[in-house]
Structure formats: structure tokens, C-alpha cells
């Protein structure tokens, strides 16, 4: 079986840090699935070229061929990665418009990873106060870890000149959670399996009392 992962990126500039983050997340999910012996295909939907078709669709109710293809890509994908730039403390209008034109059932039950980019870490709460409510309303199944990247996170260097890997850590964690959802695994299943052996030979409390 080959899993399909749709990556929707709402970046408006070229080059775009939003697209860069989306690509990194897509690659990380594909690597996680490969670790479990599963094939996958990442399909990127860039919203920038669809700005005018989206506006026309709002007015006419009819999508252009390019917009219809993008909508079908997301609706038919096994999982979704949605990445938006932050505009005025929330997702961009272009990003929201795309999800406005989707069928209301398109994301129901779909494993979803949310992410955002901004110029400053002050906007990191956008994941919880804007994106999670949006995709919760659309009944997507959103993984626990959202990924926020400020401009400084790209190529960040920690003290001593060592590359700062905190963004990589967040990407790996979120990608693992999305892969687990796709595979029907609990994200904590591996840890639980390891913990089982630890408590197999626990002496019952009553027995401890008798020994004393």
C-alpha cells in the first residue's frame, strides 16, 4: 500500500519559508513511514497560484480545473499537512479561503498535522488559538504536536556555534505522530511495550505487608 500525504502551503512569497517548512514536514513523514516499511507519496498544493481561482470560486461557486485538482488532492489524500504564514495573529486569508471551499466532509477523520511560520516567536500560539479550532471544526484528527517556525529557527545556531536542532526535533516528533495515526498505532505504543516488562514481576502490595 502507498499512502498519500497532501501538503497545503499558504506562503505568498517566493522563496517561501512556509513552503520550506511544508517540504521538510512532508519529507519527515515519508521517512517515518519508510522506517515502518511503508511506501508514501507527498503531493504539494501551493495556494499562491490559486489566489484568483479561489476568489472566483467564492463568487461563482465553480472551481477552475487547477483548483478542482487541488481540492481533489486534499480530499483523496490519506493524511494532510497544513502550513500557513501568520497574518494579523492568525492564518492567512488565502489559507482560510481554500478550506472554506472544501466539502464540509472532506477532512472528517483525516490525520492532520498543523504548522505555521512567522517572523517572530511571539506568534507561536496561533497553532492553538486559530489552527486547532479550525481543523477541529472540520473534524480532522489533528496530531498533538504542532510545528511553529519563526524566521530565526531556520539555520539557527545555539551557543558555541552549534546548530540549534529544536525545530528539527519538533518536526521529527510531529511527523512520527502523523505516521503513527496513518498506521493505526498509538504514538506511545513503543514506550508502552518497553514499560510492560518493567512491571511484569512487581510484588503485590499485600505480599509486601505480609513480609513485614
User: Quick one: pLDDT at residue 123?
Assistant: 85
Q: Report the distance separating Cα 82 and Cα 140, nearest Å.
A: 11
pLDDT digits (tens, 9 = 90+) for 5-38: 999 999 988 778 999 999 999 999 999 999 999 9
Decide: 16 and 9 in contact? Cβ < 8 Å: yes
Backbone angles phi, psi at 185, to 5 degrees: -105, 150
**What's the confidence (pLDDT) of residue 155?**
65
Count of other CB atoms within 10 angstroms of residue 209: 8
Domains in the chain: boundaries: 2-187
User: Under CATH, what is the fold of the domain 2-187?
Assistant: Rossmann fold (3.40.50)
Residue 104: alpha-carbon gap to chain centroid: 19
Mean pLDDT by 10 residues, the chain (212 residues): 94 87 96 96 96 95 96 97 94 96 95 93 90 97 95 63 74 97 66 42 50 50
Beta strands in the chain (DSSP E): 2-9, 39-46, 79-87, 90-91, 111-118, 141-142, 147-150
Closest to 5 (Cα-Cα) out of 24, 26, 19: 26
Residue among 42, 138, 55 at smallest CA distance from 93 = 55
Tell me which residue of 39, 50, 66 sits closest to 9, measured CA to CA: 50
Amino acid at each position: 500500500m502507498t499512502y498519500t500525504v497532501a501538503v497545503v502551503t499558504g506562503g505568498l512569497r517566493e522563496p517561501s519559508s512556509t513552503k520550506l517548512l511544508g517540504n521538510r514536514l512532508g519529507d519527515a513523514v515519508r521517512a517515518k513511514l519508510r522506517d515502518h516499511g511503508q511506501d508514501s507519496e507527498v503531493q504539494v498544493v501551493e495556494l499562491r497560484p490559486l489566489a484568483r481561482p479561489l476568489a472566483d470560486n467564492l463568487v461563482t461557486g465553480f472551481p477552475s480545473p487547477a483548483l478542482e485538482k487541488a481540492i481533489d488532492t486534499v480530499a483523496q489524500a490519506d493524511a494532510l499537512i497544513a502550513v500557513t504564514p501568520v497574518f494579523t495573529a492568525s492564518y492567512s486569508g488565502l489559507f482560510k479561503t481554500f478550506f472554506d471551499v472544501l466539502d464540509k466532509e472532506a477532512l472528517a477523520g483525516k490525520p492532520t498535522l498543523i504548522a505555521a511560520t512567522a517572523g517572530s516567536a511571539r506568534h507561536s500560539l496561533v497553532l492553538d488559538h486559530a489552527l486547532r479550532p479550525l481543523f477541529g471544526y472540520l473534524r480532522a484528527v489533528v496530531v498533538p504536536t504542532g510545528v511553529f517556525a519563526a524566521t530565526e529557527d531556520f539555520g539557527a545556531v545555539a551557543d558555541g556555534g552549534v546548530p540549534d536542532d529544536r525545530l528539527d526535533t519538533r518536526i521529527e516528533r510531529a511527523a512520527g505522530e502523523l505516521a503513527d495515526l496513518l498506521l493505526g498505532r498509538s504514538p506511545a505504543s513503543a514506550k508502552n511495550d518497553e514499560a510492560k516488562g518493567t512491571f511484569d514481576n512487581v510484588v503485590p502490595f499485600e505480599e509486601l505487608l505480609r513480609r513485614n
